[in-house]
Amino acid sequence: MVESPPVQRRVMLGNEAVARGLLEAGCRVICSYPGTPSSEILPAALELKREYGLDTYLEWSVNEKVAFDNAYAAALSGKRAACVMKQVGLNVACDSLMSAAYLGTVGGFVVVSCDDPGPHSSQTEQDTRLMGLFAKVPVYDPSTPEEAVDMIAAAFELSEAEKIPVILRPAIRVCHAKQDILQRPIASGAAVADFRKDPMRWAATPKFRYLLHKELNGKLDGIVHEPKWSQGFNKNPMEAAGRSPVGIIAGGVPYVSVLDILSDTGNESVPVLKVGMPHPYPRELLNDFCTRCDHVLVVEETGAMLELILEAFPHVRGRNTGHVPKEGELVPEVIYDCMSRFFSDVGGPSLAPVMDEKEAALLKQVGPVPRRPTLCPGCPHRAAFYSIRKRFPKAIYTSDIGCYTLGLNLGAVDTVLDMGAGLTLGSGFYQAYHQDGREKMIVATMGDSTFYHSGVTALINAVYNQAHLLLVILDNKTTAMTGMQPTPGLGIRADGSPGGVIPLERLVRGCGVDSVITHDPYDLPGFMKALDRAGEIAVEGGVSVLIAEHPCVIAYRDGLEKKTVTVTDACNGCLLCMQRFECPAFELVPGEEKKVRINERLCSGCGVCVHVCRQQAIECA
Amino acid sequence: MRTNCVLAGVGGQGILFITKILHDAALTQGFRVMVSETHGMAQRGGSVVSHLRIGDMGSPLVRSGTADVLLVFEYGELSNTVGMLKRGGAAVVNRPSEEDAPSELQTYLKARGVTPHYMDAYGAAAQMGSPLTANVILLGFALSRLSFPMPFESVKETVERLSKEAFRGKNVEALRAGYDWSENGS
């Protein structure tokens, strides 16, 4: 055995640092629903719980609203608690957030909502800071994993002192950054559940809500005027009587990029105001900085919150003046361009381009060809989508959020709105056509975890309102996209201990669906027959459900049966396997345009493609 | 001192593992490190890019056009990431023997003064009978051709420490093989 060197600093993923920060602050309860970029926080907390023998309660909740409420109850019982989700997850929990802001809290309550500028793995680029503004709760916006740890400690203190929920908004470059971080002791929170009844508050009627709203406004006023809550996080480098021809206001991840660029180019003298606590916004600090600088650039992600607050200053530049793009991630090269344009417009220092025009033109010729994401080789969803497209070529395909969004590549996904909308848009399309006397075939697809998350109410609605549609639940026995978290169908909880089992088939029947068929999509011919049958029932009888059941090839890769797949000389180069079936394990034989071979490094050996080839040129043993 | 390094490939090649080896080795040498990784949907067969910064810096991302070194684990990703390199930067590229560099790419590399070092890591791994170690072989090759602030020995120790028991021997062997690899096939 090789022994680990003794280090006090450890390289941690931002999400691991967030987990550690929560436990260092004595957080006793963490509830989460997975979603990029937040998914690694709960598993990291679980690992620390085991390492330190803590009694922290950790759960994968069924959705983000459920996670919020479960954690919030712990906070109302006097414990420190947190709920963890991605930014669009906070939309699902928004109802609770808005109301909890009024009610307040007893134990510290922190909402970790991870933003995804880009977006890399989300349906929107929304800005959680603005949710804080909307809900009237404080927000901390870390620039690095290390700062996230410090902010969590402050967030719990603030939450407890002012009795208010607090948001931590780490963006993807904090969540999925890694940094060496000093390991501080883990504090075991000691609070015992002790819910003090106070119906005037916890069950307040509208008349009392007015008073709670007034109280909330008072709390925010107090917080913004108490320097200790933002100390070290809001930083003004200007001296009391200082002035500067140019200045930059930044927060979150863009702040460190701005500092890097100023240091790379020898412009450290340009003052940068850091806003680490964007809500309640530090109006006086912002105003003061703006009056001391002749020209100001605001670099913030992903909205234009600070810029909005500074609208009265005509010398403030940013998204609204075209100096910063209104969409997309502010990666360092984008910020470099923003700063360069700003400086050149206002007579600041000049930033030389990293590439001259000739080089840039040559690079363009190289023609980057980014790979589009695809379903993995052997993914059961591929077999399901291929069959759906084959059997119902004219249907409207409403789909949902998960790996299976990539059914797009197989031409079997027409819509992706948000979690659960595979069903709700499906029933909506049916009704819109039905109203005109037309019966449109609708095939909705949804993963197992998404179905538990928000498909159940949608299915009940479809049955109740007599929509006719075929729902294919892609049951791969895991939450694959976000890192293989267990689902309620498995009866395994976050820590691996046994939980209650909610079998899909029974759940679907419980929603009022009479026709439920379960079939393995790997059996392509049989699955197509099952689709035909389920489709007929949908047309005649209403909602029909086909559960496409096959475990995820990544989550359950151990002990996977692997067949040897080969392409014979019968291949006529029609490329159906590459283009329609779209398995990444097919490739062209080098130097030939019409001859396919199997890339053995990628092939999972599922053998489904044997049924796809019209020439019977694919064999497996 | 700052070393900006970009690692590129596709999902499933173990790029996160190689990144971990490098950042842990840097940490044992007393450097501060900052890394940015690809997770989520992009991992599903898409391009995977890691940024590794050694030394004092704020952002986990390397600014495009300023990377000192580039490690390309899947040849097709070279054209997607070559713009990350600074003028005069260096690249190590896994190029199966059957692939030829397109002329546009060669022109760009020349104009930018970039030195590419090619090796067929898949071929070398297959020859050693452990196809899954192509990533570690390329890392060994990179250590011999590019300048990192950590010595080979510290990386080797890190590989030993981070490898699972069953792969430890093979990984160390692969690292050494990549390090000792030469174009004339010794």
* Tokens of residue A200, six digits: 């005037």
Which chain A residues are Cβ-neighbours of B79 within 8 angstroms?
Answer: 366-369
Average of pLDDT values for A312-333? Answer: 96
Strands A109-114 and A166-168: parallel
Which are the contacts of B56, defined by CB distance < 8 A and separation ≥ 6?
Answer: B1, B2, B32
pLDDT number for residue B76: 87
Residues A442-480: tens digit of each pLDDT: 999 999 999 999 999 999 999 999 999 999 999 999 998
Chain A residues in contact with B76 (beta carbon < 8 A)? 369, 371
Residue with tokens 């700063």: A339
Bridge partner list, A555: none
State yes or no: ipTM above 0.90: yes
Query: Which pair of tokens denotes residue A419?
Result: 């979690």
- Tokens 């939980």 found at: A499
Going by pLDDT thresholds of 50, 70 and 90, the confidence category of residue B40 is: low
In chain A, DSSP finds a helix count (H) and a strand count (E) of: 22, 23
Q: Are B3 and B62 in contact (CB under 8 A)?
A: no
Helix, strand, coil percentages for chain A (3-state, nearest 5): 40, 20, 45
Q: A86-90, A406-410, B2-6, B39-43 — which is least confidently predicted?
A: B39-43
* Position A370 pLDDT exceeds 80: no
Give the C-alpha separation, A286 to A500, whole Å.
52
Pairing of strands A515-519, A469-475: unpaired
Tell whether B154 lies on the interface with A, counting CB pairs under 8 A.
no
Strands (E) in A226-351, as ranges, are: 234-235, 244-250, 272-275, 293-299, 316-317
What is the C-alpha separation between A331 and A485, in angstroms, rounded?
30
Q: What confidence tier does B43 reach under pLDDT thresholds 50, 70, 90?
A: low
Cβ <8 Å between B61 and A331: yes
CA angle A519, A528, A383 (to 5 degrees): 75
d(CA A392, CA A374): 22
Lowest mean pLDDT among A238-247, A363-372, A604-613: A363-372
**Distance of alpha carbon A336 from alpha carbon A257, whole angstroms:** 9
* Mutation target among B10, B19, B39, B105 for the A interface, most CBs of A within 10 A: B39
pLDDT tens-digit series, residues B1-26: 789 999 999 877 889 999 999 999 99
How many angstroms separate the CA atoms of A569 and A548, rounded? Answer: 33
Q: pLDDT for A43-55, tens place per residue? A: 999 999 999 999 9
The number of C-alpha atoms within 13 Å of A563 and in the hemisphere containing its C-beta is: 14
Q: What pLDDT was estimated at residue A1?
A: 38
Question: Could you say which of A261, A359, A602 has the minimum Cβ distance to residue B111?
Answer: A359
The tens digit of pLDDT for each residue in A103-125 reads 999 999 999 999 999 998 899 99
Range from A64-68, A338-342, B180-184 carrying the lowest mean pLDDT:
B180-184
pLDDT at A7 over 50: no
Q: Which residue has the tokens 């930014």?
A: A87
Residue A2 pLDDT greater than 70, yes or no: no
Give the H or E element holding residue B167. Answer: helix B165-180
Quick one: average pLDDT of A584-588? 91
d(CA A193, CA A79) in angstroms, rounded, equals: 7
Query: Residue A586: beta bridge partners?
Result: A598
**What is the SS3 assignment for B24?**
helix
Q: Which residues of B touch A40 (CB under 8 A)?
A: 39
The answer to whether the pTM exceeds 0.90 is: yes
pLDDT of residue B50: 94
A518-536 mean pLDDT: 97
Q: Which of B35, B108, B161 sits opposite A2 (nearest CB)?
A: B161
User: Is the pLDDT assigned to residue A380 strictly greater than 50?
Assistant: yes
Contacts made by residues B98-106, CB under 8 angstroms, sequence distance 24+: B98/A590, B99/B75, B102/A366, B104/A362, B104/A365, B104/A366, B104/A367, B105/A366, B105/B78, B105/B79
User: Does residue A420 contact residue A447 with C-beta atoms inside 8 Å?
Assistant: no
The answer to whether residue A189 scores a pLDDT higher than 80 is no
SS3 letters across A435-497: CCCCCCCEEEEEEHHHHHHHHHHHHHHHHHCCCCEEEEEEECCCECCCCCECCCCCCECCCCC
Contact A521, A606 (CB under 8 A): no
DSSP class of A279: B
CA distance A77 to chain B (A): 35
Q: Quote the Cα angle for A501-A455-A429, to 5°.
A: 155
- Predicted pLDDT of residue B12: 75
pLDDT digits (tens, 9 = 90+) for A482-522: 888 999 999 999 999 999 999 999 999 999 999 999 999 99
Residue B106 token pair: 């060669």
Q: How far apart are CA B6 and CA B70, in angstroms?
A: 5
To probe the interface with A, which of B15, B24, B41 has the most A CB atoms within 10 Å?
A: B41
Residue A165 to residue A78: CA distance in whole angstroms: 13
Across the interface, whether the CB atoms of B46 and A173 are under 8 A apart is answered no
Place of tokens 């809001």: A234
Q: Does B166 touch chain A (CB under 8 A)?
A: no
- A125-154 pLDDT per residue, tens: 999 999 999 999 999 999 999 999 999 999
In the predicted structure, residue B147 carries a pLDDT above the cut 90 = no
- Does the structure show a pLDDT above 70 at A590? yes
pLDDT tens-digit series, residues A215-233: 999 999 999 999 999 999 9
Beta bridge partners, A323, equal none
In the predicted model, is pLDDT for residue B131 greater than 90? no
pLDDT recorded at residue A5: 43
pLDDT of A312:
92
CB pairs under 8 A between A and B: 168
Q: Which amino acid is at A532?
A: D
Residue positions counted in chain B: 186
What value does the mean pLDDT take over residues A271-295? 96
Spatial CA neighbour of A97 closest among A67, A54, A124, A62: A67
Greatest Cα pair distance in chain A: 82
Q: How confident is the model at residue A187 (pLDDT cuts 50, 70, 90)?
A: confident
pLDDT of residue A593: 81
Which pLDDT band, with edges at 50, 70 and 90, does A40 fall under? very high
Across A160-166, average pLDDT: 98
Interacting residues of A315 by C-beta distance below 8 A, sequence separation 6+: A290, A293, A294, A295, A296
Q: For B27, which of A9, A332, A481 is closest by C-beta distance?
A: A9
Helix axis angle, B103-111 to A357-366, nearest 10°: 150
A586 vs A372: CA distance, rounded Å: 15
- The share of chain A scoring above pLDDT 90, in percent, equals 89
Q: What is the pLDDT at residue B41?
A: 57
Contact A260 B111 (CB under 8 A): no
CB A81 within 8 A of CB A109: yes
Calculate how close chain A gets to B62, using CA atoms only, in Å.
7
Mean pLDDT of chain A: 94
pLDDT of res. B2:
85
Please say whether the beta carbons of A462 and A423 come within 8 A.
yes
Chain B interface, best mutation among A41, A261, A362, A371, by max B CB count within 10 A = A371
Do A67 and A92 touch, CB atoms closer than 8 A? no
pLDDT of residue B44: 58
Contact A374 B45 (CB under 8 A): yes
Question: What pLDDT shows up at residue B157?
Answer: 97
Two tokens at A257?
Answer: 């990029």
Q: How far is CA A443 from CA A382, A403, A424, A455, in A?
A: 15, 17, 12, 14
- Quick one: pLDDT at residue A3? 43
- The answer to which of A218-222, B126-130, B172-176 has the lowest mean pLDDT is B126-130
